[in-house]
Amino acid sequence: MKIILAQPRGFCAGVVRAVETVEQALELYGAPVYVRHEIVHNQHVVDSLRRKGALFVEELDEVPANALVIFSAHGVARVVEDQARQRHLRVLDATCPLVSKVHNQGRQYAARGYRLILIGEPGHPEVLGTLGQIPAQVTVLLTVAQVEALEFAADTPLAYITQTTLSVDDTRQVVAALRRRYPQIVGPDTRDICYAVQNRQVAVRALSACVDLVLVVGSQKSANSVTLRDIAGESGIPSYLIADGRALRREWFDQRPTVGITAGASTPESMIDDVLAALARIAPLDITSLPGPEEQVQFRLPAGLIARQ
């Protein structure tokens, strides 16, 4: 069976930073370390950290007073930050810097008097955190149809910001619809969507052009992983989002297709290796990689941690 790996794939710099934050906190301060929400949307990563002594909670009232708590890569609302201070919790903020950039953009637009639109998935942890970071009313939408249903007056000063993990193409269509309805609207270029998300979307398009089937390794809860699966499916070939090798179905490979493999930004390389091992039990593998950019981005760890030497 011929296997072609996408490049880049898997962990991005924001996820690396978040996971290292938990690991180093455990090394420096000892267990338990509390983490509000799953640090990233990948069960294997969460389970691995749990075995090392991380305790995952949904709300801060589950954290003992004066304990150490880590905020996930998705970011949190200001009310959560305030609650942590009131309960005298020691906080390490693992919010991805690119998510923090969106928070800053939103606050700046609000301070300048714009009505804000957030292009994102309602209920997603990143969207909830962003809404809670902006001291103004924000309209959340995700589709062109929702743009057409907006009731802002034509001359309303409007600005938009975006969730970092969306499909670049879908977001570009929504922005274009906003500009058609409200030519005065301002906002960041869609290139401001997370560099890692963009790179992985470009890579899966290239991959889909030269394989018969695409496997995306990632969580069903991971927005960027779901998007990769959808993009591959748009090419007209079978595409499957799987958590690990156990999710494979032998009948997918009866015709010995050329299989493309990529992974969401919160998926560790070990899970790709797990999928390859499962495929190798079906047939001998011939593995190659597509050319693609080597990501060199690194984010500094939160204050309060000593970086590994």
- What are the strands, taking DSSP E only, across the chain? 2-5, 33-36, 54-57, 68-71, 90-93, 115-119, 138-141, 158-162, 213-217, 239-242, 259-263, 286-289
Q: Is 208 annotated as a binding residue?
A: no
Cβ distance 158 to 176 under 8 Å? no
Nearest to 216 by CA among 248, 268, 262: 262
Helical ranges in 156-262 per DSSP H: 168-181, 195-208, 223-234
Q: Is 210 annotated as a binding residue?
A: no
Cβ distance 96 to 75 under 8 Å? yes
Residue 126 designated active-site:
yes
Q: Quote the CA–CA distance of 309 and 306 in Å, as a whole number.
A: 9
Residues 6 or more apart in contact with residue 45 via CB below 8 angstroms: 19, 39, 266, 268
Q: Is 130 annotated as a binding residue?
A: no
Beta bridge pairs of residue 73? none
Q: Is 48 annotated as a binding residue?
A: no
Max CA separation in the chain (angstroms): 63
Terminal C-alpha separation, the chain:
41
Q: Helix 223-234 and helix 195-208: axis angle, to 10°?
A: 30
Q: Is 227 annotated as a binding residue?
A: no
Q: Quote the CA–CA distance of 109 and 153 in Å, as a whole number.
A: 18
Q: Is 289 annotated as a binding residue?
A: no
CA atoms within 13 A on the CB side of 129: 25
Q: Quote the CA–CA distance of 214 and 197 in Å, as a whole number.
A: 17
DSSP annotation of 306 reads P
Question: Which of 126, 148, 234, 294 is labelled catalytic?
Answer: 126
Catalytic positions: 126
Residues at the annotated binding site for dimethylallyl diphosphate?
A: 41, 74, 124, 222, 224, 266
Residues at the annotated binding site for isopentenyl diphosphate?
A: 41, 74, 124, 222, 224, 266
Residues at the annotated binding site?
A: 12, 41, 74, 96, 124, 164, 194, 222, 224, 266
Residues at the annotated binding site for [4Fe-4S] cluster?
A: 12, 96, 194
